[in-house]
């Protein structure tokens, strides 16, 4: 049954910070009835996040339609609950709404929240909660299941979105593809997966490998990437994912206009050719794993600039390039299918 | 005050598995009065682990001298307490001994252990317990503090031992060097540090960076390496450490005769030249970070084979090479000092 959902993004309603909100609106199974942010109340999610059509942005729960669920729609660095959000979370609980969050701070570790939830009979869900304790073994992987991982030149560039769009496109064309969620938002929209950045470091690759083994009866696994090998804060997660997923192909995701590492403005992102090389190097230690296509996120630039960049990147890399939102994912879907048919990866 | 310590390695008394025991005997501040392993009782730690002289191996606590502390002396994959050890742990607690462990399974999460500890007034210490929640920021690093990280061609090859021997040698020669412990054994012997393989993946590099910022008033930091970039189970920890420590130089540690990845016998370790290249590549994304010397662990081979390998590696890599135990660390100490004096790293 679809739940009526209000997404809380108070003070953070922009496409970068509120990527959980955007993705739940774009891909989620529940009905989003409002977004709650008093700083942009009266607007729509379409005008602020570029998705969701007429979904209203409201200033308080009083102004929102009745709903079953409050979903916390941001994923800030460090993953803490903004202190100012406590009041609205408690108010939602007192109205009988369940609350779902994907932060490192767990709702269920907060005594005030859990006491209120018990009193009002509602459920608090922490999507990042996990108890992973298995190391990767590199055994039992099915040789003819094609594992395609998205990697990025930075964090928050569109790796999840790319993996989902390619999965949907492949399935629509009659192929047996499956999306593997590795982060809180991917889990919220797909209902399955593991929040690997919240796993104890020794068990990251083991947690990923377990998901692969569980789903490798599908022909093609499209695995959601995390972070970036060149992001000093999150590269541990990225490499654990690469070595746990053991992909045979990578899709490189980048955003036009992104110059510096997210959150570390003093560090310039290395050239894309270098990013490609680093990812292929680290994914190819025990078997070949090339980048087979580039997904370019061009939301910050004009259609003309986007088209020019697409041509330029195609020429520089000799690979299919598209913006899966602006252009549709067809070029990358064809790249995946051509690679699958090449047999080069069945080693 | 020195505590009298009994080390428990029941069934696991060999240099590879009992590396915590070996290192505590070699470098710890407490007095090790016995090692407990009924399967090799009557032997000495010297004969079984190559260290500790006449320290006896006993079959039970009854046969051991009185002691203040039981220390769990192994670090198995996954880090669980062997079920057969429960009896002796409870017996030690009932005798009023404190218990220290470095496993992923915490003594303090075990109701039977904590109840017994409370009843007998003893302390259970879990060295791997941590609450790290900061991401790496790459800010505030002191430009003229030389950070030297050990990296390995596999896990458990002697990275901690190399870092400690170099620190001791540098300090003995009058230099201001400091050892940074990143694993449970390093913490046990140095009394400080962070067990980074037990940190939530998002915060591994942040936890390392915090230690660097805390200790960078020293001239030279010798940072204990973890895992290996080519070990699919643990590479997340390794890369988080590299990017959190942000070293300007690496010491590459390898063991002669090691052919396959520890715990993953179906995977061959890539050639050492490739290992060097991978580590330099991933450590040099934002600044140069070369391998400046090779520490070769030659305990499995004859003195003649060790000497030949040392010459061969020197020629192949054009770098100082030594076994810090067999040959002493002098060549690598000189390599660190020459690199420090080169000024090439102060960028």
Q: Which pLDDT band holds residue B347 (cuts at 50, 70, 90)?
A: low
Per-residue b/e over A232-256, b at no fewer than 16 CB within 10 Å?
A: bbbbbbbbbbbbbbbbbbbbbbbbb
Cα of B57 to nearest chain A Cα, Å: 31
Identify which of B201, B205, B229 has the shortest CB distance to residue A204: B201
> What pLDDT is stored for residue B1 in this prediction?
76
Question: What tens digit of pLDDT does each residue of A62-98 get?
Answer: 999 999 999 999 977 777 888 889 999 999 999 999 9
Place A137 in a pLDDT band, splitting at 50, 70 and 90.
Answer: very high
For B249-259, what is each residue's pLDDT tens digit? 999 999 999 99
pLDDT at B253: 98
CB atoms A281 and B286 under 8 Å: no
Query: Is A234–B281 a contact, with Cβ atoms under 8 angstroms apart?
Result: no
How many interchain CB pairs under 8 A, A with B?
141
Ramachandran class of B296: left when φ > 0, alpha when ψ lies in -120 to 50, beta otherwise = beta
pLDDT at A100 over 90: yes
Closest approach of A93 to chain B, Cα-based (Å): 27
- CB < 8 Å to A198, chain B: 200-202
Sign (positive or negative) of CA dihedral B308, B311, B313, B316? negative
Does B289 score more than 70 pLDDT?
Answer: yes
DSSP assignment of B97-156, as one string? -EEEE-SSS-GGG-HHHHHHHHHHT--EEETT-----------S--TTSEEEEEEESSSS
- What does the radius of gyration of chain B's CA atoms come to, in whole angstroms? 20
| CB proximity A223 to B under 8 Å | no
Residues in chain A closer than 8 A to B202 (CB atoms): 79, 104, 197-198, 233-234, 236-237
| Closest by Cα among A11, A14, A15 to A38 | A11
Q: H helices of chain A, where?
A: 19-27, 45-49, 86-94, 111-120, 159-172, 184-190, 204-215, 235-245, 272-283, 303-317, 330-342
A77 at interface of B, judged by CB pairs closer than 8 A = yes
- A303-328 tens-digit pLDDT: 999 999 999 999 999 999 999 999 99
**A240–B243 CB contact, under 8 Å:** no
Q: Cβ of A232 and B246 within 8 Å? A: yes
Note which residues in 97-126 of chain B have CB less than 8 A from chain A. Answer: 104
Nearest CA in chain A to B77: A135
- The answer on pLDDT for B107 being more than 80 is yes
pLDDT at B98 over 70: yes
Q: Which residues of A touch B244 (CB under 8 A)?
A: 232
Between chains, do A197 and B197 touch, taking CB under 8 Å as contact? Answer: no
For residue A344, the 8-state DSSP code is: T
Contact B135 A237 (CB under 8 A): no
Which of these, B196, B165, B128, B190, lies nearest to B331 by C-alpha position?
A: B165
Q: Is A135 on the interface with B (CB under 8 A)?
A: yes
Mutation site, B199, B202, B281, interface A, largest A CB count within 10 A: B202
Contacts with B233 from chain A: Cβ below 8 Å? 135-137, 202, 205-206, 243
Q: pLDDT at position B343, please?
A: 77
Confidence of residue B84 (pLDDT cuts 50, 70, 90): confident
Question: Going by C-beta distance under 8 Å and a sequence separation of 6 or more, which residues neighbour residue B201?
Answer: A196, A197, A198, A199, A200, A201, A204, A236, A237, A240, B236, B240
Residue A232 pLDDT exceeds 90: yes
Give the rounded distance of the alpha carbon of B155 from its chain centre: 10
Q: Per the CB < 8 Å rule, is A137 touching B264? A: yes
Cβ of residue B204 closer than 8 Å to a chain A Cβ:
yes
- Closest chain A residue to B282 measured between Cα atoms? A278
User: Is a pLDDT exceeding 70 seen at residue A59?
Assistant: yes
- A285: chain B residues, CB-CB within 8 Å: 230, 270, 278
| pLDDT value at residue A150 | 98
The DSSP line for B179-209 is EE--SHHHHHHHS----GGGSBGGGHHHHHH
Q: Are A198 and B202 in contact (CB under 8 A)?
A: yes
Q: Which residues contact A7 (CB under 8 A, 6 or more apart)?
A: A21, A24, A25, A32, A34, A35, A36, A70, A71, A72, A73
Q: Is B213 on the interface with A (CB under 8 A)?
A: no
- Facing B205 at nearest CB: one of A198, A233, A281: A233
Is the per-residue pLDDT at A343 higher than 80?
A: no
Q: What is the pLDDT of residue A347?
A: 63
Cβ atoms of A72 and A106 closer than 8 Å: no
Task: Using alpha carbons, list the distances in angstroms from residue A220 to A168, A186, B331.
Answer: 12, 17, 52
Tell which of A209, A236, A239 to mutate to test the B interface (max B CBs under 10 Å): A236
Preferred mutation among A195, A212, A233 to probe B, highest tally of B CBs within 10 A:
A233
Query: How far is residue A102's CA from residue A105's CA, in Å, rounded to a whole number?
Result: 8
Distance from CA of A99 to the nearest CA of B (A): 23
Q: Does A244 touch chain B (CB under 8 A)?
A: yes
Residue B77 scores a pLDDT above 80: no
SS3 A256: coil
* Shortest CA distance from A205: residue in chain B: B233
Judge: B197–A199 Cβ closer than 8 Å, yes or no. no
* A78 with B205: Cβ contact below 8 A: no
Residue A222: both structure tokens together: 């499209």
Average pLDDT over residues B145-155: 98
Q: Do B232 and A267 touch (CB under 8 A)?
A: no
Question: What is the reported pLDDT for B76?
Answer: 76
Percent over 90 (pLDDT), chain B: 94
Pairing status of strand A220-223 against strand A31-36: unpaired
Beta strands A260-261; A264-268: pairing state: antiparallel
Q: Indicate the pTM of the whole model.
A: 0.97
Check if B281 contacts A (Cβ < 8 Å).
yes
Judged by a CB distance cut-off of 8 A, whether residue B56 touches chain A is no
Shortest Cα distance, chain B CAs vs residue A175, angstroms: 30
Which candidate, A220, A199, A58, places its Cα nearest to that of A128?
A199
Q: Which of A159, A40, A47, A135 is nearest to B232 (CA)?
A: A135
pLDDT of residue A116: 98
Q: Tell me the C-alpha distance between B162 and A216, whole Å.
A: 42
Number of Cβ within 10 Å of residue B316's Cβ equals: 14
Residue A201 and residue B139: Cβ atoms within 8 Å? no
Please list every residue in chain A whose beta carbon sits closer than 8 Å to the beta carbon of residue B271: none
The residue-averaged pLDDT of A207-215 equals: 98
B236–A230: do the CB atoms touch at under 8 Å?
no
| Nearest chain B alpha carbon to A239 | B236
Q: Which residue has the tokens 């989620």?
A: A28
Query: Cα(A96)–Cα(A119) distance, rounded to whole angstroms?
Result: 10
Q: Are A294 and A313 in contact (CB under 8 A)?
A: yes
pLDDT at B262: 95
| Distance of residue B244 Cα from the nearest chain A Cα, in angstroms | 7
């Amino acid at each position: 049954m679809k739940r009526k959902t209000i997404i809380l993004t108070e003070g953070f309603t922009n496409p970068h910070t509120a990527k959980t909100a955007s993705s739940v609106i774009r891909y989620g199974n529940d009905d989003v009835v409002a977004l709650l942010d008093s700083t942009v109340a009266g607007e729509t999610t379409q005008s602020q996040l570029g998705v969701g059509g007429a979904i209203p942005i409201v200033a308080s729960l009083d102004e929102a339609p009745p709903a079953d669920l409050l979903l916390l729609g941001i994923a800030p660095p460090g993953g803490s609950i903004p202190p100012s959000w406590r009041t609205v979370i408690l108010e939602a609980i007192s109205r009988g709404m369940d609350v779902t969050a994907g932060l490192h701070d767990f709702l269920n570790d907060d005594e005030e929240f859990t006491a209120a939830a018990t009193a009002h009979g509602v459920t608090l869900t922490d999507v990042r909660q996990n108890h992973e304790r298995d190391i990767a073994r590199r055994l039992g992987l099915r040789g003819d299941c094609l594992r395609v991982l998205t990697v990025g030149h930075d964090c928050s560039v569109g790796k999840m979105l790319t993996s989902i769009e390619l999965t949907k496109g492949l399935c629509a064309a009659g192929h047996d593809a499956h999306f593997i969620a590795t982060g809180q938002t991917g889990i919220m929209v797909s209902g399955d997966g593991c929040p690997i950045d919240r796993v104890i470091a020794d068990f990251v690759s083991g947690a990923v490998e377990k998901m692969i083994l569980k789903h490798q009866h599908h022909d093609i696994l499209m695995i959601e990437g995390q972070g970036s090998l060149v992001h000093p804060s999150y590269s541990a997660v990225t490499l654990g994912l690469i070595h746990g997923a053991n992909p045979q192909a990578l899709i490189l995701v980048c955003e036009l206009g992104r110059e510096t590492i997210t959150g570390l403005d003093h560090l310039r992102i290395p050239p894309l050719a270098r990013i490609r090389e680093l990812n292929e190097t680290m994914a190819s230690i025990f078997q070949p794993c090339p980048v087979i296509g580039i997904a370019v996120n061009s939301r910050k630039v004009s259609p003309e600039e986007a088209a020019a960049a697409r041509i330029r990147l195609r020429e520089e890399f000799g690979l299919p390039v598209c913006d899966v939102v602006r252009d549709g994912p067809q070029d990358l879907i064809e790249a995946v299918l051509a690679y699958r048919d090449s047999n080069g990866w069945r080693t």
